[in-house]
Structure 1
Amino acid sequence: MGTTISIHILTRPAASEIDCDPVVSDAVADCFADLRDVDRVFSTYRGDSDISQLRRGERTAAELDPRVVQVATACDDWERATEGCFSAHWRGWFDPTGYVKGWAVETAARRRLAPLVSRADVVAAGINAGGDLQLFSSDAADWSWRVGIADPARPGTIVATIDVKNGAVATSGTAERGEHIIDPRTGLPARSVLSATVIADGLTAADVWATTAAVAGIDDLAWIAGAGTRTGVVIGADGTVRRWLGSTEINTRTASVEARAALR
């Protein structure tokens, strides 16, 4: 998928031999196997992937892995939901990269990792895919994941923290990778947002809405009304910080020292 993926399992102190527990180790191995299988089908970097064959016109979607049609349908639904801020067709051909990573990680994590937190020896399980997270915690444990939101203007520091017991966190923007996000409506780079972080129930939605936030721009948060996200923060290239809770914006500030302190 062109990124680093890590899995983290938090155990109770008495479970010192958890690394040797075949149930846990098998779940981790199976999760990575699921992701490799998705990469085999959807990678735009592999010439033998189903998506690459589709792009070259060698096979139709109906002749490929059935997940290709499933993902294509989902991408069309998301394009409508985001009013064109997200699209899998902006290159002129079908490229679901902006959707597949979040969907694949969430699907694999729910299938392989989520069941682990029902075990007596496991407190929490999570997966980190290039900074995007799908997190689970035991209902019986007093535990939440504390997630830091990086300050795009000051590498190595954070602009906010949030506690997530069960849920997903995704970040998009230009701070880390430059102008790689294209506004499908104009074909031009989306430049006004350095960083957009969205917290939602699942990584599929969090990832798409983070991309939407980056494309919509720092001046447009109208999309949050129907997004169904939990919370999030958008940091503009001009230093503006906008944050929301549910469907309501809770503050707009300039990213001064005082504003950063207020977000923590």
Structure 2
Amino acid sequence: MTSIDRRRQVRTDQVMGTVASIHLIVDRSASSEDAALPEELEVAVRACFDELHDLDRVFSTYRPDSDVSRLRAGELDLASADPRVALVHGACVEAKQATGGLFDAWHQGWFDPTGYVKGWAIETTAERALRPLLGCAGVHAVGLGVGGDMQLYTAPGSDWSWRVGIADPRRVGEVVATVEVHTGAVATSGTAERGSHIVDPRTGSPALSVASATVVADGATDADLWATTAVIAGFHDLSWITAPRVQSGLVVSPTGGLRRFARGVELTMLGCSASVPHLPPAA
């Protein structure tokens, strides 16, 4: 089947302070020209967005009524919070150990899972609401993106491959690389979109030596965690790239330097280049 026999259907919603988008690659016979989808697909899309809103209600650091904000304010203890908070809390303890303290959800003196929880929310929600759609007739692939981080799936036996452009942090509208993903996740972190918001817990100062770090991993949880870790580790430290489930990625410096890696090995270190490298396909 060629791409002309397929249609990409996209649904969007405002959540977590950004735009979430669900992409479905379906046979043209499985959707109409007016972008309508079979009811079972539309129900799954709505369930996915509803779950993201519910997770935002629990984990948002911007909402004073969220469980995380109430923990910080001393209005709630971990045992009384939504059970998913304890789950993420435990995972953040493990993440701190795995990253050698580069990721530290407690570096401000309270629990803040930013840098972990968005990827976890994307992966958890996509696994539950979207991945089962691969068994529906006419569905080749499904993907969920939130604020640029993505969890992507392709149906067994399909030749579909997601081609993801990695934004150039210094040139709006341009890409610095591309990556192909069959099933996996892509996450990008850095200073380009939100400024110097990532703090190095070792110094208490903003991490500034990486403009953009992109990680391709098995799931969005690991992709988000290690993209954040890459920014904190700095442009000259790629010791973390051998972490389990990390597949490939790249790190860009504020001056345009670029380091790309795959399967635990650095492939290229470039200065400011106009070329667009292509990363090896993810498994």
Give the alignment's TM-score, normalised by structure 1.
0.95
Query: Does residue 1:203 correspond to 2:220, yes or no?
Result: yes
Task: Could you tell me which runs of 5 or more consecutive residues in structure 2 were left unpaired when the two chains were aligned.
Answer: 1-15
Deviations, residues 191-212 of structure 1 (Å, cap 9, x unaligned): 0001100000100000000001
Q: Single out whichever of 98-107 and 222-231 deviates more from structure 2.
A: 222-231
1:13 is matched with 28
Structure 2 counterpart of 1:87, from 101, 104, 109? 104
Which residue of structure 1 aligns with residue 124 of structure 2?
A: 107
Is 1:171 matched with 2:183?
no
- Which is worse superposed, 190-199 or 5-14? 5-14
Q: Superposed, which structure 2 residues align to 1:55-66 within 5 Å?
A: 55-66=72-83
Give the letter aligned to residue 84 of structure 2. R
Alpha-carbon contact 2:175-2:276 (below 8 Å) kept: no
Q: State the superposition RMSD in angstroms.
A: 1.4
Distance in 2, matches of 1:187 and 1:21, equals 51
| Partner SS state of residue 48, structure 1 | coil
Higher mean C-alpha displacement, 195-204 vs 12-21: 12-21
What is the one-letter code of the residue matched to 1:122?
V
Q: How far has the Cα of 1:238 moved from its partner?
A: 2.7
Q: Any idea what SS the aligned residue of 1:134 has?
A: strand
What is the distance in 2 between the residues matched to 1:142 and 1:262? 23
Q: Is 1:158–2:196 an aligned residue pair?
A: no
Structure 1, unmatched stretches of 5+, are none
Cα distance, 1:95 vs structure 2: 0.9
Runs of 4+ deviating beyond 6 Å? none
Q: What does residue 40 of structure 1 align with?
A: 57
Match status 1:145 vs 2:162: yes
> How many Å separate the matches in 2 of 1:63 and 1:200?
33
**Greater percentage in helix:** 1
In structure 1, how many angstroms separate the alpha carbons of the residues matched to 2:55 and 2:276?
A: 41
- 3-state SS of 1:123 partner: strand
Match of 1:235 in 2: 252
2:81 counterpart of 1:69: no
Letter in 2 for 1:12: D
Partners of 2:144 and 2:60 lie apart in 1 by 20
- The letter for the 2-side match of 1:88 is A
The count of corresponding residues between Structure 1 and Structure 2 is 262
Q: Which SS does the other structure have where 2:46 is aligned?
A: helix
> Which of 222, 236, 246 in structure 1 is aligned with 2:239?
222
What one-letter code is carried by the residue in structure 2 that aligns with 1:251?
A: T
- d(CA) in 1 for partners of 2:119, 2:77: 24
Looking at structure 2, the residues matched to 62 and 174 of structure 1 have their Cα atoms a distance apart, in angstroms, of 35
Partner residue of 1:244?
261
